[in-house]
Structure 1
Amino acid sequence: MKRGVIKLCWELVFLLQTVISSVFAAKISSYHVDHGLVYEIMVHPDNGDVFLGAKNGLIHLNSELRLQGHVSMGPYSDSPQCSPDPTTICKEGRVPTDNQVCILEYDRKSGSMLVCGSVHQGKCEFRSTTDISQVIELKNDKINFVGSINKRHVFAFFGGRAVSEGFNLLYVAMGDDGRPSTFRPAAISTRKFHIKDKSFQYLTNNIMYKTYVDVHPDLVGSFKAYYIHGFEYENHTYFISVQMDDALATAPKFLTKIVRICQDDQTYASYTELPIQCMSNSVVYNIAIGAYYHSVPARDTSTGLAVTFGRTEQGSEADPSLGSVLCFYDVIDIVKKFEDVQDKCFLEGIGSEVTWLVGKSLKEVRNCETDTNYTPHSFCGLMSNIGIQESAVSQNGDQFKLSKTAVHTVSDALLTSVALTNQNRDRVAILGSNTGHVSKIWFERETKVHYLTSWNVTDKPLSTQTEVSRDNRHVFLIADQTLYRFPLYTCDGYSSCEACVMSRDPAGCGWCGDHCSLHTECLNPPVQWQNDTCPPVISQVPTVEGVFPPIGPVSGGTELLIKGKNLDIGSDLAVFVGATECSVQR
């Protein structure tokens, strides 16, 4: 909006209408868990109900956050060194242990929910989503251990492919959380559930074939990795991992990698990983914090992955003082980068074995072997190269990296969570931070975004766990013991008319007399809702004369100077003093 100065005629009496901006708090609702931290959230895809995994409990809420049910899941007598079977002898001794319910995944095929905690080696169970007290307990076998003492060490999700007995396949990625090898499943795997045996199995596991990969025995305990997100696209499974670049190096560094496995691969030979990073002003951010894949195309027909990154000078934790960034990766670009890396490997011999699969350092891994059986664009694993990563010897390492330019940057905080959705076909991102701040970003296109507005929701860090409501009108955020239900269709973040109408917020915001609102919320006639112009406002600053001179003769004819904003409103401008219209000099 322009600020204007217009000369007007003066009479003794004049009437001025001022607009006072009002700040309205966003209509945020919340649910507080009294007995401990909240670790996980799941939104039912059919009815929108919300399920929370918390300390020693599972909670069922409806979409309005009204309590529907609660079951206790701890504390239990347990030891991280012992079998979950209470009938077995435990030399270390079992003690009452809190249970972090950290995995909640809905299986569409069976209509049940997988629930896993941190006790009993992360053993899982299935529960009904209509009555969470109904449970199918699984066998005490490590194939049924998905939970972890650290939520970040594991990510699991049910894919869209169904197998026998009415259950979809479960894709799991697990980092080493220190448990004994006896109770540690494979690092990355595809599992199927057998309801008669009440147990998962690897989809394939025999002498010739296996649908999993695991850390080489020589690196167990030394190779560190954790998994923050996973998704599937066109018969491939993807995971985002923060991991060591070389566990055998004197001072291993951490970086983020994106992993891909062909879902039809019965050997997991198609396992491929490559670095993923985000750039801002030539600075590399490569420690992923939060990620979210959105499969619904936006106005530009793209779908993709949003990742927030930080930086670190040592270790695997992003340093808040070094800032944080957001990058968006079109899924087509992701697919192409993997195909490029696989082409380089099988056609040119450029690429390497995966260090942690073969138990070697970057200096020791062998290069790829070329293979005439390789078919570009339809690769699903060849035994000539079982597991591929970026070349350990190439002078042009950037060709193996999935790198994008940051679309949003913060200098003094961490963007701990991100959620994507579409509003009126436009892609928007809701970002949470370690300072309890929530921001809304609008993607005009993949590489151009607009920072819209922000809210201070809490003084506690927001968790990486976030979900969008079934109706796409709210985002659920977790901070400590509280779940927040944040409205996507709100205009309360804009405190002035200018900010409101110039925001171009995809929610559809406009000015309603004295506040910003949706058109459907402006219900105070004769107030006119406007989304393209703002009413003139005379300056109210004490040190600035809004009207000069302040007095004049009753005979009129005095030129009057008025200062304010939104005065340049075109040919429709009309000024009245009482019932008399004034002439305007332009």
Structure 2
Amino acid sequence: MTYALFCNMFSVILSLCFTHLLGLLEFSPRNGELFSIVMNNNRLNVFVGGHNKLYNLTKDLQLSREYDACELVNSSRDVCDSDVKVVKENIKSNYMLICGTVAYGACAALYRNGTYSPFIDSTINHSTAKYVGSKSSVFAFFGHDYFGDSLLYVAMGYDGRPLEFYPYTISERRVHRSNGIYQLLYYDKSENYTMTPETLSSSYFDFLYGFEDLTHSYFISNQNNGQEGIISQLCNETNIARQYIETKITCGGFYYITDAFFLGSDKSSDVRTLYVAFYDNATDTSKLCSYPQNVIHEYFRSAVWNCNQHLKIPWMAYSHKRCNQTVMVILKEMNEYRHFRSMNNVYLTLLVNKRLRLRMT
């Protein structure tokens, strides 16, 4: 056998062997979709949210235990109808946050020993802070906490529920625990953002991912009927003028629909990197792009200095002062000022309480 013939045979073998990737291990629920998955911190268990069920699997995907999604949140409905959309581990407090769609998105804390505690209403009067799950899109994650309670960031689309049961579109919440009782509280109501009544039924928000660094938190979403990928930045610091910024995130200029993403770390440089996959429906093609987090942070930082006249974020329901001059001066503290220069393709609006709203297109 000549070397050339051997190479040709080897190439044929490769083409036959690597036509598709088979799963070595698998788990199939008895019915319904699977919505969320997380491996706990000790890497021994996998938790999967499904229709009416939360599944606790071993790392080799063997079913260890399953929980009724309605019983977890103490729902008294005769027929359970709940999709477990949020499964997040609170490593600090050693529990899993479990939120389904029953009871407008009620949640429970699942402990390592298998017991659980439903979250109760946080006030005498009705509060929407306890609702996290959504029949529309929702993404939640735990962030850094500087005040003793766990900080939870939540972004959720509108799913047609009565408005009195709809939380803020984007919010910061605190997980408060006292005598084994869990509650969700709004961290700071002035730090929450919601849609106007006019845009609730017409706006398309598909929240897909969220993460944070030491000073800012971020959400990635699809908007404009899924034709635009958006990255949003919220300032986490409490002692400066707070801000909410949106900008399109693209890959090659023509790819707008965010499909999948992962926040990783380059071990050689310790630079955290955001990886985002995009799909273009018109050409039926996809692309994957990476965005180092320091580049993202610098991009938003420089954008804060830019604003466009008479523009604001169209979906946000607040009374804004508009950016109506070329250079604006915003009072940060009693003797400190920030300047914002007007440029194209940026939305900026101001609230009376020193809050900044900015959108770039």
Mark the CA change 1:85 to 1:303 in structure 2 (over 3 Å): closer, same or farther: closer
Question: Are the equivalent residues in 2 in contact too, given 1:42–1:52 (CA < 8 A)?
Answer: yes
**Does 1:41 pair with 2:27?**
no
**Does 1:278 pair with 2:251?**
yes
Mark the CA change 1:367 to 1:253 in structure 2 (over 3 Å): closer, same or farther: farther
Which protein is richer in strand relative to its size? 2
Mark the CA change 1:268 to 1:149 in structure 2 (over 3 Å): closer, same or farther: farther
CA distance in 1, matches of 2:317, 2:258: 25
Question: Are the equivalent residues in 2 in contact too, given 1:344–1:351 (CA < 8 A)?
Answer: no
| Deviation for aligned residue 1:337 | 1.1
Question: Are the equivalent residues in 1 in contact too, given 2:117–2:182 (CA < 8 A)?
Answer: no
Corresponding residue for 2:229?
A: 256
Corresponding residue for 2:182?
A: 198
Question: Which amino acid is the alignment partner of residue 306 of structure 2?
Answer: K
Match among 247, 254, 257 for residue 287 of structure 1: 257
**Does 1:229 pair with 2:209?**
yes
CA distance in 1, matches of 2:285, 2:109: 40
Question: Are the equivalent residues in 1 in contact too, given 2:54–2:67 (CA < 8 A)?
Answer: yes
Question: Which amino acid is the alignment partner of residue 58 of structure 2?
Answer: N
- Scaled by the length of structure 2, the TM-score of the pair is 0.79
The structure number with the bigger radius of gyration is: 1
Question: Are the equivalent residues in 1 in contact too, given 2:155–2:219 (CA < 8 A)?
Answer: yes
Match among 143, 148, 151 for residue 134 of structure 2: 148
CA distance in 2, matches of 1:358, 1:74: 33
Question: Are the equivalent residues in 2 in contact too, given 1:44–1:50 (CA < 8 A)?
Answer: yes
Question: Which amino acid is the alignment partner of residue 220 of structure 1?
Answer: L
**Does 1:105 pair with 2:105?**
no
**Does 1:342 pair with 2:304?**
yes
Match among 158, 161, 172 for residue 176 of structure 1: 158
Counterpart secondary structure, 2:250: strand
| Deviation for aligned residue 1:174 | 1.0
Q: How does 1:457-472 map to 2 (within 5 A)?
A: none
User: Deviations along 1:148-186, whole A, 9 cap, x unmatched?
Assistant: 113xx110001132533xx42000111111111110001
Corresponding residue for 1:11?
A: none
Corresponding residue for 1:483?
A: none
- What CA RMSD, in Å, does the superposition of the two structures yield over aligned residues? 3.4
User: Deviations along 1:408-433, whole A, 9 cap, x unmatched?
Assistant: xxxxxxxxxxxxxxxxxxxxxxxxxx
| Deviation for aligned residue 1:36 | 2.3
**Does 1:303 pair with 2:278?**
no
**Does 1:325 pair with 2:287?**
yes
Higher relative contact order (CA 8 A, sep 6+): 1
Question: Are the equivalent residues in 2 in contact too, given 1:218–1:359 (CA < 8 A)?
Answer: no
Question: Are the equivalent residues in 2 in contact too, given 1:353–1:386 (CA < 8 A)?
Answer: no
| Deviation for aligned residue 1:30 | 0.9
Mark the CA change 1:149 to 1:266 in structure 2 (over 3 Å): closer, same or farther: farther
- Scaled by the length of structure 1, the TM-score of the pair is 0.50
Corresponding residue for 1:68?
A: 64
User: Deviations along 1:366-425, whole A, 9 cap, x unmatched?
Assistant: 55761261279xxxx9855631112xxxxxxxxx6xxxxxxxxxxxxxxxxxxxxxxxxx
Q: How does 1:180-579 map to 2 (within 5 A)?
A: 180-196=162-178, 198-205=182-189, 210-244=190-224, 254-265=227-238, 269-279=242-252, 284-294=254-264, 296-312=265-281, 322-345=284-307, 352-358=311-317, 366-367=323-324, 370-371=328-329, 373-374=337-338, 383=353, 386-390=356-360
CA distance in 1, matches of 2:240, 2:196: 16
User: Deviations along 1:540-562, whole A, 9 cap, x unmatched?
Assistant: xxxxxxxxxxxxxxxxxxxxxxx
CA distance in 1, matches of 2:170, 2:226: 21
Counterpart secondary structure, 1:271: strand
| Deviation for aligned residue 1:119 | 1.3
| Deviation for aligned residue 1:266 | 7.5
CA distance in 1, matches of 2:55, 2:205: 30
Mark the CA change 1:350 to 1:332 in structure 2 (over 3 Å): closer, same or farther: farther
Mark the CA change 1:41 to 1:268 in structure 2 (over 3 Å): closer, same or farther: farther
Question: Are the equivalent residues in 2 in contact too, given 1:258–1:274 (CA < 8 A)?
Answer: yes
CA distance in 2, matches of 1:101, 1:267: 37
Question: Which amino acid is the alignment partner of residue 108 of structure 1?
Answer: I
| Deviation for aligned residue 1:135 | 2.7
Which runs of 5 or more structure 2 residues have no equivalent in the other structure? Answer: 331-336, 341-349
CA distance in 2, matches of 1:144, 1:138: 7
Question: Which amino acid is the alignment partner of residue 315 of structure 2?
Answer: W
**Does 1:127 pair with 2:110?**
yes
CA distance in 1, matches of 2:171, 2:233: 12
| Deviation for aligned residue 1:233 | 1.1
Mark the CA change 1:291 to 1:226 in structure 2 (over 3 Å): closer, same or farther: same
Question: Which amino acid is the alignment partner of residue 53 of structure 1?
Answer: G
| Deviation for aligned residue 1:96 | 3.1
Question: Are the equivalent residues in 2 in contact too, given 1:211–1:266 (CA < 8 A)?
Answer: no
Question: Are the equivalent residues in 2 in contact too, given 1:236–1:262 (CA < 8 A)?
Answer: yes
User: Deviations along 1:73-122, whole A, 9 cap, x unmatched?
Assistant: 2599xxxxxxx986xxxxxxx87352111110111121111101111101
Q: How does 1:25-36 map to 2 (within 5 A)?
A: 28-36=24-32
Which runs of 5 or more structure 1 residues have no equivalent in the other structure? Answer: 6-17, 77-83, 87-93, 245-251, 314-320, 391-399, 401-586
Counterpart secondary structure, 2:266: coil
Question: Are the equivalent residues in 2 in contact too, given 1:268–1:386 (CA < 8 A)?
Answer: yes
